[in-house]
């Protein structure tokens, strides 16, 4: 490539692609380098649940970032549809959360403090059985996006905006002069240099950051999914109970997630226990699923972080390198806010959310309670 890049993005999942789109829309020359195919890791594997949010009243930095996504997803989805013809099926389908007594004493108050609509339900929706010891709460603002389609539309829209998309070649190493990053060497031996490099390599970002002196920033946390072939309308809302959920797609398929397995390392496959646990959970919550076929199962690697927060910040000592990593269970809902923050870091513009909350040296506020568990 003859002309120098403004931004090189390492990793083509939802975080790298959303950032690429935002940067290209701002007129910058961008390349995304992806080790495999675009959007085929966590961003494909996830369930695509997008909780509601009220940006003005959101309390913690994480709540603000989530609320930014909730606010902007409808318009952004329409824009992607206009630009690419790909419908990401973003839908405000509402959600029902099943809470224990203790959770019921805490979460509804947090949601109301953010100005979010939430009502206790006397009866669960039709065909749904409230788990023993739980109460049902309706959150009409819950939404979902069909994440594999969303990522496909991001690839198409970024390409149309002039982003150079380079699949099947991974980052190999950083190049330095006098301790300063000057570029990267890729696995095919080619070299790239850009004014800014964004690390968006998901669960694998730990390696890239360790070479810059930031070890244990990100690690993989496997999550498994079971997909039922249901029928449209069988499950009316996203249903959530603890760390598990059902996400009904428009075509009737129902995703059931998910396990949380930090001990699995980089192994992505399913396990008999994981599949049996999710299948049992789903059939107890929605008994008619016992009559539905399990169409597929899969696993994905979430980019975990010690405090559960993403890091969206320049790497200490390497101001030209920006990390956008560690989105754990929430990278889809946080993708639009992250992209906007990355754009602000690159252009020197105004960040939608205070960047201090996602800096490398952030101090976790032990008293802060995010409105939604992730």
Ligand X SMILES: Cc1cc2nc3c(=O)[nH]c(=O)nc-3n(C[C@H](O)[C@H](O)[C@H](O)COP(=O)(O)OP(=O)(O)OC[C@H]3O[C@@H](n4cnc5c(N)ncnc54)[C@H](O)[C@@H]3O)c2cc1C
The encoded tokens of residue 148 equal 């594999």
Number of residues interacting with ligand X: please give it, by CB under 6 A: 41
Span 225-244, contacts to ligand X by CB under 6 A: 225
Q: Kindly give the residue spans of alpha helices, DSSP state H, lying in 32-124.
A: 42-45, 61-84, 101-113
Exactly one of 212, 333, 337, 345 binds ligand X (CB under 6 A); that residue is: 333
Minimum CB–partner distance for residue 307 and ligand X (Å): 15
Binding to ligand X in span 23-62, by CB under 6 A: 33-36, 40-43, 45-49
Among 302, 313, 318, 344, binds ligand X (CB under 6 A): 302
Among 5, 7, 8, 15, binds ligand X (CB under 6 A): 15
198 scored as a contact of ligand X (CB under 6 A): no
Integer Cα distance of 368 and 359 in angstroms? 17
Nearer residue to ligand X within complex by CB, 18 or 291: 18
Measured from the CB of residue 261, what is the shortest distance to ligand X in angstroms? 10
The 10 Å Cβ neighbour count of residue 204 is 22
Query: Per CB under 6 A, which region of 1-9, 103-111, 331-339, 354-362 contacts ligand X?
Result: 331-339
Is position 332 an interface residue for ligand X (rule: CB under 6 A)? Answer: yes
* Short-list 107, 140, 19, CA closest to 371: 107
Name which position in 183, 257, 304, 357 contacts ligand X (CB under 6 A): 257
Q: Which of 339, 359, 352 is nearest to 26 (CA)?
A: 339
Q: Which of 4, 10, 3, 5 is nearest to 322 (CA)?
A: 10
Residues between 164 and 193 that touch ligand X (CB under 6 A): 170-171
d(CA 169, CA 188): 7
Residues 227-254 as b/e (b if ≥16 CB within 10 A, e otherwise) read: bbebeeebbebbbbbeebbbbbbeeebb
> According to the binding rule CB under 6 A, does residue 329 interact with ligand X?
yes
Least distance to ligand X, CB of residue 268, Å: 9
122-161: which residues touch ligand X (CB under 6 A)?
none
Spatial distance between the Cα atoms of 279 and 276, rounded to a whole number of angstroms: 5
Footprint on this chain of ligand X (rule: CB under 6 A)? 10-16, 33-36, 40-43, 45-49, 170-171, 200-204, 223, 225, 257-258, 300, 302-303, 327-333
């Amino acid at each position: 490539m003859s002309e120098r890049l403004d931004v090189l993005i390492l990793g083509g999942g939802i975080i790298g692609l959303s950032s690429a789109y935002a940067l290209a829309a701002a007129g910058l020359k961008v390349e995304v380098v992806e080790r495999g195919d675009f959007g085929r890791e966590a961003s494909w594997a996830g369930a695509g649940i997008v909780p509601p949010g009220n940006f003005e009243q959101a309390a913690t930095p994480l709540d603000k970032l989530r609320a930014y996504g909730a606010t902007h997803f409808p318009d952004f989805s329409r824009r992607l549809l206009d630009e690419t013809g790909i419908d990401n099926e973003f839908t405000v389908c509402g959600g029902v959360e099943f809470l224990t007594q203790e959770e019921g004493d805490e979460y509804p108050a947090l949601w109301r403090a953010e100005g979010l609509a939430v009502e206790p339900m006397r009866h669960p929706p039709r065909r749904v059985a409230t788990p023993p010891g739980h109460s049902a709460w309706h959150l009409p603002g819950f939404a979902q996006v069909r994440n594999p389609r969303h990522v496909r539309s991001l690839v198409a829209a970024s390409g149309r905006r002039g982003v150079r998309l380079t699949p099947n070649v991974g980052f190999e190493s950083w190049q330095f002069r006098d301790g300063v990053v000057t570029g990267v060497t890729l696995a095919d031996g080619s070299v790239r240099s850009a004014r800014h490099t964004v690390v968006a390599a998901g669960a694998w970002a730990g390696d890239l950051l360790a070479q810059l002196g930031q070890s244990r920033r990100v690690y993989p946390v496997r999550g498994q999914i079971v997909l039922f072939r249901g029928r449209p309308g069988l499950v009316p809302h996203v249903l959530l109970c603890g760390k598990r959920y059902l996400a009904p797609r428009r075509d009737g398929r129902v995703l059931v997630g998910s396990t949380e397995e930090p001990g699995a390392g980089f192994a992505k496959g399913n396990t008999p226990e994981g599949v049996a646990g999710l299948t049992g959970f789903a059939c107890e919550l929605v008994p008619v699923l016992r009559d539905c076929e399990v169409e597929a199962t899969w696993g994905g690697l979430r980019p975990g972080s010690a405090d559960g927060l993403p890091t969206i910040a320049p790497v200490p000592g390497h101001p030209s390198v920006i990390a956008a990593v560690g989105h754990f269970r929430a990278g889809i809902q946080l993708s639009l806010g992250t992209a906007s923050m990355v754009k602000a870091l690159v252009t020197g513009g105004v960040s939608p959310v205070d960047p201090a909350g996602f800096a490398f040296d952030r101090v976790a506020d032990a008293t802060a309670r995010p409105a939604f568990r992730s």
